[in-house]
Structure 1
Amino acid sequence: MRHLLLASILLLSAPALADTAGDRWFSHVKVLADDNMEGRLTGTPGYDRAAAYVAEQFAKLGLQPAGTDGYLQSVALTEQTLNLPASKLALDGAPLQLGEQVLPGNRVPQMKGPFDAELVFIGSGLHLPEAGHDDFAGIDLKGKIAVVLASGPARISGALKSHARSAELWPAMQRAGAIGLLNIANPNQMDVPWARQKLFANTPGMRLSDPALNDAKQPFFTGSFSPAEAGMLFAKSGHSFADMVKLADAGAELPRFPLNRRLAGEIAAVDRQLTSPNVVGLLPGRDRKLKSEYVVLTAHLDHLGVGQPVNGDAIYNGAMDNASGIASMIETGRALKAKKPKRSVLLVAVTAEERGLLGSRYFANRPTVPADAIVANINMDMYLPLWPFTHVTALGAEESSLGLVSARAAREVGATQVPDEAPERNLFVRSDQYSFVRTGVPALALKFASSNPEQQAIQKDWLTNRYHAPSDDLSQPINPAYAVTFNRYLERLILSVADQPERPRWNEESFFKRFAKAPPAAQ
C-alpha cells in the first residue's frame, strides 16, 4: 500500500507533459495485459490479437510496414508437447516422479525411445577453452548423461558464462557423444521457486522449424532435477550436492566425477507445426547516406498464456513481462519520429521469446533489411518500473562502444549506469539482444537497477511472487511516471546511436567481437 501511495503522489506532482506521456504508456500496458489477450501465448489467438494491436499502433505512428506481409514477419515454429503420464524415469531402478522431482525439457527435441545411461557430473558444463576453462575436456561422456549445476568460476565474466550455457553447450554435447543433459539450479540463485516451475511441467516448448537455426542438431534427453532432492544423485559419488553448492556460491571451479548412478526411462513427446509473427515497423532515417543503416529496437510481445491457476487466477497476463517493453517501444517510436534520426530505426515486437528467443533469432538471421546494414540492437524485457529511475543496468555495456553511449544518455536524464549486480542470473543470454550478439551486432538490454536495500527487496519480492505468475497483472503497483523517465533515456540512447557518424563497434577485448561481420563497402 505504501508503494501505491508513493506512486500516486509522484504522478500528481509530475509535470503535465509527463503525466500525458505516462497515460499513453500505461494505455498500451492495459490493452496488452488485459485478460482478453489470454496471456499472449505464442501461436494462440490471444497473441495474434496483441500483434494486430501493435501493428495498428505502428500504423498510427506513420511507421512504414517492414515485415514480409505488411507489418508482419511470419516465423515457422515446431511445438513439442510432453506426455508425462506416458513417460517414465528411474534412478538405479527406483522410479522418479515426473513433474515433481524431475521436469523434462521441452525446447530441445526429446530423444525417441527408451534409454539407460550412466550419470556424470561435469561441474558447470561450460565449454570455454579460450578462457582456460572446459568442463568437457578429458572426460568420457559417450553414451552418457551429463549432470550440471548452474554456476561458473568468478574469474569468468557473467556474459561469457551465459554464452557458454547457451550457444556452446549443445555443440559440445554433440562432439562428446552425450545422449542427455540433467540440469540442477543453484537453490540460492533461483528466480522462480521450484513449486512454481512445476506448474509449467506440461506447457509445450518450441523450437524454430528451420533446423539450421537451432543449436541442438539431434534429439537428447533433457530435464531439470529438483534442487531440494538433488542430493540423491550424489549419494554414491563420494561428494555431496551441498558441497557443490558451497563451491558454486564461492565462485570456485567445480570438480567433475562419475556419479556412479544410472538414469533410465523414456519421454513421450509429440510435435506440431505452427506459425507466429514478429511485428516490424520502419522509421526511415533522414541522412542521405546513413538512412541505409538500421538501429533495431526490440521487445518481446509474447508471454505464457493460460496455465495452472495460482490463487484462483490462471491467466499469465505479463504486464511487466513484457507489455511494459512493448509500450515503451511504441512511445519511443512516437518520440523518435518527431526527432527524425539520421539512421533508420526498426521497431520489432518479437514472438516466442518465452520459448527460447525464437522470434528474435529468426529476425536476426533472416532480417527484412540487409543483414550487414544492422548496426546495433537495443532491447527491453521486463525492465521493472517499480521504483524511481535513478540507476540503469545496460547488459552488454562492457562489450561494445554502446556502453559509453548508454551511460551518457542515462546521465542526461539524471540516472547512473551500473554493472549487472547478479551476473549468475544469466540475463545476458535470457533475452532477445543475445540473438543479435550472435550475429555480430553490438547490443544492449536495459533494466532498472536497484540502488538501495528497499529497492532490492522490491525486486526480490517481484521475482519470487510475480515473475512468470498470474500476479504479473494490472493490479500491481505499476508507476507510469517511472516508465516515462526510462523512455526519455531510451529515446536519447537510440537517437545518439542513430546520429553518430561511426557505427557502434565491439571493444577490442570482447569475446563477442569474433562474431562481428565486416561492414559493407562504401558506395
Structure 2
Amino acid sequence: MEGRLAGTPGFDRAAAYVAERFAAHGLKPAGTQGYLQPVSFAVQRIQAERSSVTLVKDGVPTPLVLGEDLVLTARIAQPASLPEAPLVFVGYGLHMPEAGHDDFAGVDLRGKVAVVLSGGPSGVSASLRAHAARDRWESLQKAGAIGLITIQNPKQVEIPWARSKLRAGDPQMRLADPAMNPVKGEFFTAAMNPAQAGKLFSVSGRTLEDLLVLADAGKALPGFALNQSVKATVSRETTPATSPNVAAMLPGSDPVLSKEYVVLTAHLDGLGVGAPIDGDAINNGAMDNASGVASLIEQAAALKAGAPPKRSIIFLAVTAEEQGLLGSQYFAERPTVDKKAIVANVNMDMFMPSRPASNIIVMGEEESTLGPIARRAAASQGFAVMPDPAPNQLSFVRSDQYSFIRTGVPALAGRLAHPVGSPEAAADRQWRAERYHGPKDDLSQPFDLPTAVRFNAYMATLIREIADTPERPQWLPTSFFKRFATGK
C-alpha cells in the first residue's frame, strides 16, 4: 500500500480493503458513496532548495540552513515571501486566561513572528494545555502575528531531528474548504532544530538554556523581544486531492436508542513514501496505525456476531490523521448521520501491542461519564488504568478523538502502557526514537498477539456498554471540554 499516504493510490487500495471487510462482516454502508465519504484537500509541498530563511540584526543578514537549522512546514498555507519581521518570544504560546496564564498578555505581536517553546506550566491541567496548544493559531492571528517558529523542548522530543528533517519535503494537506481551516489566509510557519535554536536568542540578553531550566521545572516563561528579525522566501506548490473516510454501521436494536450513534475510530492513513532510511523509503505504519484499523475490523466482527447493541455503532477508518486530524474533523463536522445524535467517540491510534502489558492509559477518562465504563471494561480483562506519564506530549489532542471533542461529543482514547521506569517503558521510548513515523514501523518488529487479543476484548466490552447504557454520556461538570457541548 506504499505507506497509505492520504490522496494516493496506495491509500485508496487500503480503503477498498477496509470497505470489503466491513461488507464481509455484514455492516451497512455509512458513507456518502457506499462505504466511502470522499474528502477534498489542498496539498502543499515546500521546495527547500529554492527557499531561504535569514536572520537580520542591524541590517546584517545571517542565513539559516534549511534542514540543519530549521525546516519550513507545509501544513499551513505558506506565503511566497516573508518581508523582514521582528521576532518575539512568547513562552509556550498558550492563551489560558481561565487558569491565570496568558503568554500573549502585554506582548505586541502585530506584524511580527512569534517564537514558542513546546510544553506548558505544570500548574495547569494537561487537558487545558493541550487545547490551548491546538488553538494557538487563533490566538496568534488575533494578536496580529504573521508567522510562527516552534522549538521542541529537547526532553519532549519523540523523533530525533536527524530523522524528522527528512520529512521536510513531504507534501502536507489541509481541507480544501477554507472555512474548516484554523488559519485564515497565508501564515509563515517553521520548526527550529532544538540544537540550533540558540541562534534565535543570541542577541536577546537571555539564553535558551535558562528558559529550558524554567520549562523543565514546569514554570511560566517570560515573553520578550529577540532583538532581531527574520525574512524568508518560500517556494511551494499546491495541488488538489481527494481521499475518503471509510464508514460502516451496525444498527442498534432499541427503538429509541438505535437513533443514537457511538463512533469507533482509527486512522487508516500513514506517511507514504519518503526519504530513504537505511535504504527503505516506505513508512509502513504497522503500529501507526494499521494495528488500530485491524482492531477496528475485529471490533466490527465481534460486535456483529453478538447480541445487537441498543445504540447504533459506526466503525470509521479515517483519512488524513497524519495531516492534522483532517478526515475525522470532516466527519465530526459533516457527519453522514444526524450530528446531534452522535453520543460518544472511542479512538484507537497506535495502541502498541508490542509486548505483554497489564496497564492501559485511557485518555479522557477523568473528563466524562465514559471514564467509569472504561475502568470497568479494563478490569474485566485484567488491565489496570494508569495516568499518562507524558502529559506534555499532548496526546489527548493529537489524534482523532479531538475532532469529536471539538463538536461537544464525549470521547476516549486508549493504548497499552507500562509503569514509568520499567524496561518495557524504556523500550517504548526507544521505539518512538527509532521506528515511529519511519520505515522501521513494519512487520519485522515484535507483536504480542495475546495482548492484542485482550485489548480487543477490552474494546468490545467498552463499546458494548457505551451502546447499551440508557443514559447518554455526559461531560463532567469539572471538565474543561464541557465548554464544547455548552458553547461556553
Using structure 2 for the length normalisation, give the TM-score.
Answer: 0.97
User: Is 1:385 the counterpart of 2:349 in the alignment?
Assistant: no
Equivalent residue of 1:467, what SS?
coil
AA at the equivalent of 1:182: I
Aligned to 1:312: 279
Deviations 1:451-483 (A, max 9, x none): 261111111111111101100001001122111
CA apart distance, 1:276: 0.1
AA at the equivalent of 2:164: Q
Query: How many Å separate the matches in 2 of 1:476 and 1:387?
Result: 10
Aligned to 1:361: 329
Percent identity, aligned pairs only, is 56
- Say whether the 8 Å CA contact 1:112–1:219 is kept in structure 2: no
- Say whether the 8 Å CA contact 2:264–2:314 is kept in structure 1: yes
Query: How many Å separate the matches in 2 of 1:310 and 1:151?
Result: 29
Structural mapping, 1:185-334, within 5 Å: 185-334=152-301
Query: How many Å separate the matches in 2 of 1:402 and 1:423?
Result: 20
- Say whether the 8 Å CA contact 1:284–1:291 is kept in structure 2: yes
CA apart distance, 1:144: 0.4
Equivalent residue of 1:147, what SS?
strand
- Displaced runs of 4 or more, over 2 A: none
Aligned to 2:482: 513
Equivalent residue of 2:404, what SS?
helix
User: Is 1:499 the counterpart of 2:468 in the alignment?
Assistant: yes
User: Is 1:442 the counterpart of 2:438 in the alignment?
Assistant: no
AA at the equivalent of 2:51: S
Query: How many Å separate the matches in 2 of 1:186 and 1:345?
Result: 40
User: Is 1:179 the counterpart of 2:146 in the alignment?
Assistant: yes
Query: How many Å separate the matches in 1 of 2:349 and 2:55?
Result: 39
Query: How many Å separate the matches in 2 of 1:515 and 1:48?
Result: 33
Aligned to 1:337: 304
Deviations 1:235-266 (A, max 9, x none): 11111101111111110001111111111111
Query: How many Å separate the matches in 2 of 1:333 and 1:291?
Result: 17
Structural mapping, 1:431-470, within 5 Å: 431-451=399-419, 453-470=422-439
Query: How many Å separate the matches in 2 of 1:118 and 1:279?
Result: 45
Equivalent residue of 1:85, what SS?
helix
Query: How many Å separate the matches in 1 of 2:290 and 2:43?
Result: 23
Equivalent residue of 2:195, what SS?
helix
- Say whether the 8 Å CA contact 1:389–1:486 is kept in structure 2: no
Structural mapping, 1:26-175, within 5 Å: 37-92=1-56, 93-166=61-134, 168-175=135-142
AA at the equivalent of 1:83: Q
Query: How many Å separate the matches in 1 of 2:131 and 2:233?
Result: 30
AA at the equivalent of 1:292: K
Query: How many Å separate the matches in 2 of 1:110 and 1:83?
Result: 12
- Say whether the 8 Å CA contact 1:384–1:448 is kept in structure 2: yes
Structure 2 unaligned runs (5+)? none
Deviations 1:474-500 (A, max 9, x none): 100112211100000000000010000
Deviations 1:343-385 (A, max 9, x none): 0000000000001000000000000000000000000001101
Aligned to 2:396: 428
Higher deviation after alignment, 182-191 or 383-392? 383-392
Higher deviation after alignment, 408-417 or 388-397? 388-397
CA apart distance, 1:218: 2.0
Query: How many Å separate the matches in 1 of 2:193 and 2:311?
Result: 49
Aligned to 1:17: none
User: Is 1:352 the counterpart of 2:320 in the alignment?
Assistant: yes
Equivalent residue of 1:447, what SS?
strand
Aligned to 2:455: 486
Query: How many Å separate the matches in 2 of 1:211 and 1:132?
Result: 32
Query: How many Å separate the matches in 1 of 2:83 and 2:394?
Result: 31
AA at the equivalent of 1:416: A
Equivalent residue of 1:488, what SS?
helix
CA apart distance, 1:130: 1.4
CA apart distance, 1:114: 3.6
AA at the equivalent of 1:444: L
Equivalent residue of 2:255, what SS?
coil
Query: How many Å separate the matches in 2 of 1:429 and 1:194?
Result: 22
Higher deviation after alignment, 494-503 or 382-391? 382-391
Distance 1:136 1:123, change over 3 A: same
Query: How many Å separate the matches in 1 of 2:463 and 2:157?
Result: 33
Query: How many Å separate the matches in 2 of 1:366 and 1:378?
Result: 18
- Say whether the 8 Å CA contact 1:372–1:517 is kept in structure 2: no
Query: How many Å separate the matches in 1 of 2:14 and 2:92?
Result: 39
Which is helix-richer, 1 or 2?
1
CA apart distance, 1:320: 0.2
Equivalent residue of 2:415, what SS?
strand
CA RMSD across the alignment: 1.0
Query: How many Å separate the matches in 1 of 2:323 and 2:84?
Result: 28
Using structure 1 for the length normalisation, give the TM-score.
Answer: 0.91
- Say whether the 8 Å CA contact 1:389–1:485 is kept in structure 2: no
CA apart distance, 1:517: 5.6
Deviations 1:309-334 (A, max 9, x none): 11111111100000000000000111
Deviations 1:87-128 (A, max 9, x none): 111112111111221111111111233421110000000011
Higher deviation after alignment, 86-95 or 321-330? 86-95
AA at the equivalent of 1:71: Y
Query: How many Å separate the matches in 1 of 2:185 and 2:428?
Result: 38
Deviations 1:48-86 (A, max 9, x none): 000000000000000000000000000011101111122
AA at the equivalent of 2:122: A
